[in-house]
């Protein structure tokens, strides 16, 4: 069996050697992984240079790859398009339509022509910004409507940042992802139509009155031992805008149906406008 150019071990997946890497499952399958027990599953990332890597071994080198756009072992250029003049900013590469194509064989079969650059850029960004690791985890949970996991993570966070590697609850709730058009968690929850998730976010990070929430939200927050943190001086999560200037309310109206109806009730209207409308 072929082996990984980096670690020389067979190209099979060994579970629980470390944290789940960026994109490995979510980008490939869009669903939760099904890990067969006691069974070898392939883990073969085949780059355009011809080198075969384990996903994790390649992603350990993410910072170098997004800057050089070369295979760390054979030094071959991996980008399909030449980087433009401002090639020192990794996020810039993604915006220039540059891709790093590979074929990945996993338990889900063979995925030819997947673009690794967005995931490599994200991995690299996370390594240089350790304080956003929790925020990134929350975004994945919000996308998957993992309310219980979100509550567990949030319940452990201090209300405010205590050091350079902790954002604190209030900043975590309002984090805007620079790798995803500056969307907030609320944008993501509405985009996915996850009602449980956006009610929890509104409960913890908006100025909506307590009686605006379904009983299930009160129960869920009580069970996790959380109370509504004071917002000030933080903004209402509903007032955050993505890089196109759109609020969560704009997203809800675009979604139509029940979300549009909820938007009509003012659920996603930031507090200031709501106060003006009623007064």
User: Per this entry, what is the length of the chain?
Assistant: 279
Least Å from the CB of residue 71 to Zn ion:
3
Least Å from the CB of residue 5 to Zn ion:
6
* Cβ proximity to Zn ion, 53 vs 139, nearer residue: 53
Would you tell me the crossing angle of helices 248-255 and 257-264 to the nearest 10 degrees?
130
Which residues fall within 8 angstroms of residue 87, CB to CB, at 6 or more apart? 69, 93
Binders in 66-105 for Zn ion, by CB under 5 A = 71, 73-74
Q: Is the dihedral of CA 58, 59, 62, 64 positive or negative?
A: negative
Stretch that binds Zn ion, among 5-13, 33-41, 146-154, 192-200 (CB under 5 A): 5-13
Residue 14 binds to Zn ion (criterion: CB under 5 A): no
* Cβ proximity to Zn ion, 74 vs 219, nearer residue: 74
Least Å from the CB of residue 13 to Zn ion:
10
* Cβ proximity to Zn ion, 46 vs 228, nearer residue: 46
d(CA 278, CA 18): 52
108-117: which pairs have CB atoms within 8 A and are 24 or more residues apart? 108/28, 108/29, 111/28, 114/27, 114/28, 116/23, 116/45, 116/58, 117/66, 117/79, 117/93
Least Å from the CB of residue 26 to Zn ion:
21
Least Å from the CB of residue 129 to Zn ion:
25
Q: Could you tell me which of 7, 103, 18, 9 has the C-alpha nearest to residue 57?
A: 7
Least Å from the CB of residue 158 to Zn ion:
37
* Cβ proximity to Zn ion, 11 vs 189, nearer residue: 11
- Tell me the per-residue interface mask from 30 to 69 with Zn ion, x by CB under 5 A, - otherwise: -------------------x-x--x--x------------
Q: Which residues bind Zn ion (CB under 5 A)?
A: 4, 6-7, 49, 51, 54, 57, 71, 73-74
């Amino acid at each position: 069996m072929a082996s990984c150019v980096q670690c020389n071990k067979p190209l099979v997946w060994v579970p629980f050697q470390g944290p789940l890497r960026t994109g490995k499952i979510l980008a490939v399958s869009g669903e939760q992984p099904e890990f067969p027990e006691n069974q070898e599953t392939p883990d073969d990332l085949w780059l355009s240079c011809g080198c075969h890597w384990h996903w994790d071994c390649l992603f350990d080198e993410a910072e170098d790859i997004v800057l050089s756009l070369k295979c760390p072992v054979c030094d071959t250029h991996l980008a399909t398009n030449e980087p433009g003049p401002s090639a020192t900013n990794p996020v810039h590469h993604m915006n220039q339509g540059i891709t790093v194509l590979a074929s990945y064989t996993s338990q889900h079969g063979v995925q030819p022509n997947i673009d690794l650059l967005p995931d490599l850029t994200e991995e690299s960004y996370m390594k240089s910004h350790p304080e956003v690791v929790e925020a990134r985890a929350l975004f994945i949970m919000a996308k998957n409507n993992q309310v219980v996991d979100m509550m567990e993570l949030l319940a452990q966070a201090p209300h405010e940042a205590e050091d350079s590697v902790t954002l604190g609850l209030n900043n975590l709730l309002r984090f805007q992802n620079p790798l995803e058009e500056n969307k907030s968690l609320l944008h993501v929850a509405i985009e996915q139509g996850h009602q449980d998730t956006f009610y929890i976010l509104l409960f913890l990070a908006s100025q909506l009155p307590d009686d605006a929430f379904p009983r299930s939200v009160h129960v869920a927050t009580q069970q996790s031992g959380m109370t509504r943190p004071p917002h000030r001086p933080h903004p209402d999560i509903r007032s955050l805008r993505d890089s196109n200037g759109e609020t969560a309310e704009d997203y809800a109206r675009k979604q139509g149906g029940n979300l549009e109806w909820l938007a009509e009730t003012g659920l996603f209207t930031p507090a200031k406008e709501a106060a003006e409308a009623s007064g």
